[in-house]
Structure formats: structure tokens, C-alpha cells
Amino acid sequence: MPGGSAPLGAGEYSIAGNTLTFTVPDYMVDGDVVVKQNSNITATYPLEIRKLAGVIWQGNEELSGWSNWGVFNWSGDLWTKFHEAITGPGQMTVHFVATNSSPIFNFRMGDWSTPLSGLAGMYGDDGNIRPGADVTDLVFNITAEEAAQMFGDGGQGMVIWGDGIKLQYVKFIAAGAEQVLWEGREDTSGWGNNITIGSDTSPELAAFEPQEGSVVRFYGEVAAGWQVKIVEGHWGPTYLAVAETGEGEFSAYDFAGNGNCIKMTLTQAMLDAAYTQQWWGGTFIVQGQNFILTKVTVAPM
């Protein structure tokens, strides 16, 4: 398995006909699954189990007893990846699993002391982070100044050390970088076609790890007299009502001046509604007139 050092043992997988079944081990990362019949016959199958957009590093680095300071030894290739990927502000995700019931770690700039502003609410009185055994991600914003201090020319890098944590990947999405949530061509057909974006509990949106303040853009084509509503995906509240001219519940919106898209800033209430299971519906509903939806994107900041 990718990320593992030993093959699966007897009882950890089964084969029925042309189907191989196994339980994904917690160390597994994206990569190649190698099936070896004998010394002469080997088959390799690429497997992707998580969104890789923006991933700079992935592996299985165990932090135990405060004795291991993490994956970032700043070897030439690794430093180059961070240096090239993080050139300004954006959103970083550190994904991990707990290896005991009380995981604890620290995350600082490479001087071992300077905290990151996006983690201000996570540091405890002793300066450490205690995420809880069920938490698997730190998602936070990095400022332009922090990006330069850590990863610019002559930057000091960053350090992660602690106990009860296994690091599995680090990803970074630059501020304003758009990731495609939906793409196609759907006409609102004079309020006759309600376009559902995403599905119940919004796994499509969650994969991009948006936060409060992230921006969703609804791209499309408009004609004279256009109107658009963005509604919560289970026919909940109306999030946005915009039109060519302001009237009633609709606010006037400069569609062309905003890059031929409708911009909507996510609130925590929107995210909470998106991730609440209701067994039907989706993330957003787009309805209106004289509007053809062609793409929906999400950007972290």
C-alpha cells in the first residue's frame, strides 16, 4: 500500500474473481497499489483517496514523545516545493491522525518560537495545540508576511513537533485561487429550472476545505433583464438575490464588472447548513431568469 513499508498480510485482503477487497489502513496515502503475484508478475494501480489539489507533501510522519520535529528537514527538493508553492497569502491545511487519546503538538515558524496568526485560537496557555482525538485537520490562513518569512528567499521554514500525532499531508491554496465545484451548462429557463449544486452533506464542497470568508463564484451568461437567486440547497434561506437592476428583493449587480460571475462570501451558517445531513437536497440551488450557469468555483480567501 502507498505509505506503508510492508505488504498486507493474510486476512487483511480478499480476492473474489477479479475483485480485490481490503480495508484502507490509516497510513495509506495517494499513490500506487502494487499487486505482486510472483517475482515475475507485478501489477501497479494508481489510487487517489483524497483531493490532491495543492498538496505539497504527503506521507506518514509520526510525532511521538516530542522527539521528532516533523517532516520538514528542508532538504533541497522539499524546500523547493514549499518555496515555489507558497509565494503569498493563502490557506494551509495540515492533515493528521491521532495515535493516542490526548494528541498534542506545536506549530511554529522555523525559529521555533514565532506563532502563526491563523492558529491564534488554537494555542493553549502553554503554547501547545490540543486538537482532540477526533480532529484530523488544521485549516488556517497564512498572511503575506508569514509566507515571506517562512518560505520566501532565505525563509526560515516551519516546524511541527509533539506527541500522539501522525502527519499525513500538507496542502496550500493561494488566496484567490479558484477550485471548480461544478461545471456544465444549465439554463435557469425563466425560473423553470432549479439547478442543484452539490449533494447532501456537501462532500464536494468539503473536499476544498472552505472557511468562513471563502468566496464562491457562479459563472455564466446573462441576457437583458436577468435575475438570479442563490438558495440554501435544501430550500432553506435565500443567500443572495441579484439582478441587472435593483428591484424588490433583488440588489443591482455589475455582472460584467465582476468577471462575468456572481460572487458570494461564505458564512459559518452557510457551511453549517451545507454539512448538515438531511438525506436529500444539495449545497446550493441556483434559480432565475435570463441566466445560464456554466461553472461554480470556491476560493479560500
Measured CA to CA, the distance from residue 277 to residue 280 in angstroms comes to 8
Residue 54 DSSP label: T
Measured CA to CA, the distance from residue 167 to residue 74 in angstroms comes to 16
Whether the CB-CB separation of 62 and 166 falls below 8 Å is answered with yes
Q: Do both 199 and 91 map to the same domain?
A: no
Residue 217 included in any domain: yes
Q: State yes or no: pLDDT of 34 exceeds 90.
A: no
Out of 174, 201, 217, pick the residue that ends a domain: 174
Predicted local confidence at residue 117, as pLDDT:
95
Predicted local confidence at residue 12, as pLDDT:
80
| The C-alpha cell that represents 174 in the structure block | 493561494
Q: Do both 144 and 209 map to the same domain?
A: no
Out of 140, 174, 208, pick the residue that ends a domain: 174
CATH classification at residue 141: 2.60.120
Q: Do both 158 and 204 map to the same domain?
A: no
Whether the CB-CB separation of 117 and 180 falls below 8 Å is answered with no
Q: What is the pLDDT of residues 214-250, one digit of tens each?
A: 999 999 999 999 999 999 999 999 999 999 999 999 9
Residue 6 included in any domain: no
Q: Would you call 82 helix, strand, or coil by DSSP?
A: helix
Q: State yes or no: pLDDT of 46 exceeds 70.
A: no
Residue 125 included in any domain: yes
Q: Do both 111 and 217 map to the same domain?
A: no
Measured CA to CA, the distance from residue 197 to residue 215 in angstroms comes to 15
Residue 129 included in any domain: yes
Q: Do both 158 and 184 map to the same domain?
A: no
Q: Do both 119 and 68 map to the same domain?
A: yes
| The C-alpha cell that represents 177 in the structure block | 485561487
Q: State yes or no: pLDDT of 3 exceeds 70.
A: no
Q: Does the model's pTM come out above 0.75?
A: no
Out of 139, 174, 209, pick the residue that ends a domain: 174
**Orientation of helix 144-151 relative to helix 76-85, angle to 10°:** 160
Q: Exposed, middle or buried by CB within 10 Å (0-12, 13-18, 19+), for 11?
A: exposed
Q: Which residue has the cell 480567501?
A: 301
Q: Do both 65 and 78 map to the same domain?
A: yes
Q: Do both 99 and 162 map to the same domain?
A: yes
- Give how many domains the chain has, as a whole number: 3
Q: What is the pLDDT of residues 157-214, one digit of tens each?
A: 888 999 999 998 899 988 888 999 999 999 999 999 999 999 999 999 988 888 898 9
Q: Do both 28 and 42 map to the same domain?
A: yes
Range(s) of the domain holding residue 33: 13-47
Measured CA to CA, the distance from residue 227 to residue 217 in angstroms comes to 16
Nearest alpha-carbon partner for 168 in 60, 75, 82, 42: 60
Q: What is the pLDDT of residues 4-17, one digit of tens each?
A: 667 877 778 888 88
